């Protein structure tokens, strides 16, 4: 069995890493939104036309929101689990209360556990991790991508737009004047006109990809965070003196609810 002094050493060691990680995530979500976006452009020149390589690109997304949150969850699990086990041990024999979230019980927690959870959930940086999650535009139609290189990564794609790239050639020609003959028009300066001819250069396609969340998903995690915070405050008011040693508040329970909406 893990002793309290081990939990204290572990949480003290990991707390700075957790704070640094949340700060890094805020920076990444705010400044690296391009890593969640991709696009695919194709271009096939018509026969006899010059190829334009710049019209082709295959920019793969670097990561997805789900992948980043999975990494966040995995790398904060040890700290969060140790944190609440420490509080449960410290609060042995102290006040406890049921934590009821959206009508479902998460279990019974000590007042110190609830206070620690409240401090974690209402922390400004912790909230900012979720409020800065990149979201895709609602003004476009998105479908889950079936492309093999995005398989099982929850990547969405826009519809493919296609068309033909065109250009214009200009040809100069002399406007004939029926009032001027070849003989008496020796000093005549003819009028020059320009004729535009549209030509097809090549066929193109364009498609965008996104590993971002929808606005609804981001709003959902922020709403659940607020609901959890309200539930914690209510549980603290109803705490009773009941001994506790081991915490059932785990990183999995916390992030399953916040990230995936899994309750219980």
Burial of residue 110, with CB atoms counted within 10 A of its CB: 0-12 exposed, 13-18 middle, 19 or more buried: buried
> Side-chain half-sphere of 104: how many Cα atoms within 13 Å?
8
> Side-chain half-sphere of 197: how many Cα atoms within 13 Å?
7
Extract the tokens encoding 2: 């893990």
pLDDT in tens, 28-86: 999 999 999 999 999 999 999 999 999 999 999 999 999 999 999 999 999 998 888 87
Extract the tokens encoding 213: 């969340």
- Look-up: residue for tokens 């904060």? 76
Q: Which residues pair with 147 in a beta bridge?
A: none
Q: Indicate the average pLDDT of the chain.
A: 88
Does this model's pTM top 0.85? no
For residue 241, what pLDDT band results from cuts at 50, 70 and 90?
Answer: very low
pLDDT in tens, 174-193: 877 766 665 555 566 778 88
DSSP 8-state assignment for residue 238: T
| End-to-end CA separation in angstroms for the chain | 26
Extract the tokens encoding 19: 């704070």
Query: 126 vs 123, 130, 241, CA distance in Å?
Result: 5, 7, 30
User: Looking at the predicted structure, is the pLDDT value of residue 239 above 70?
Assistant: no
For residue 173, what pLDDT band results from cuts at 50, 70 and 90?
Answer: confident
**Using CA atoms, how far apart are residues 198 and 216, in angstroms rounded to an integer?**
46
């Amino acid at each position: 069995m893990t002793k309290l002094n081990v939990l204290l050493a572990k949480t003290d060691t990991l707390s700075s890493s957790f704070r640094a990680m949340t700060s890094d995530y805020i920076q990444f979500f705010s400044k690296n939104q391009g890593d969640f976006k991709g696009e695919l452009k194709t271009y096939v020149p018509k026969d006899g036309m010059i190829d334009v390589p710049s019209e082709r690109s295959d920019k793969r997304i670097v990561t997805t929101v789900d992948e980043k949150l999975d990494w966040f969850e995995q790398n904060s699990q040890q700290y969060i689990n140790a944190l609440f086990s420490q509080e449960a041990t410290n609060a042995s024999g102290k006040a406890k209360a049921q934590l009821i979230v959206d009508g479902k019980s998460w279990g019974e927690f000590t007042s110190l556990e609830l206070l620690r959870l409240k401090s974690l959930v209402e922390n400004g940086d912790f909230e900012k991790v979720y409020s800065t999650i990149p979201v895709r535009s609602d003004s476009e139609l998105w479908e889950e991508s079936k492309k093999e290189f995005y398989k099982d990564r929850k990547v969405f794609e826009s519809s493919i737009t296609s068309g033909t790239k065109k250009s214009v050639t200009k040809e100069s020609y002399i406007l004939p004047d029926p009032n001027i003959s070849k003989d008496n028009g020796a000093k005549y300066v003819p009028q020059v006109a320009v004729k535009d001819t549209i030509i097809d250069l090549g066929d193109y396609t364009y498609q965008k990809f996104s590993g971002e969340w929808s606005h609804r998903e981001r709003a959902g995690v922020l709403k659940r965070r607020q609901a959890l915070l309200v539930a914690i405050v209510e549980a603290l008011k109803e705490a009773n003196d009941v001994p506790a040693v081991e915490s059932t508040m785990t990183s999995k329970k916390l992030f399953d609810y916040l990230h995936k909406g899994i309750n219980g």
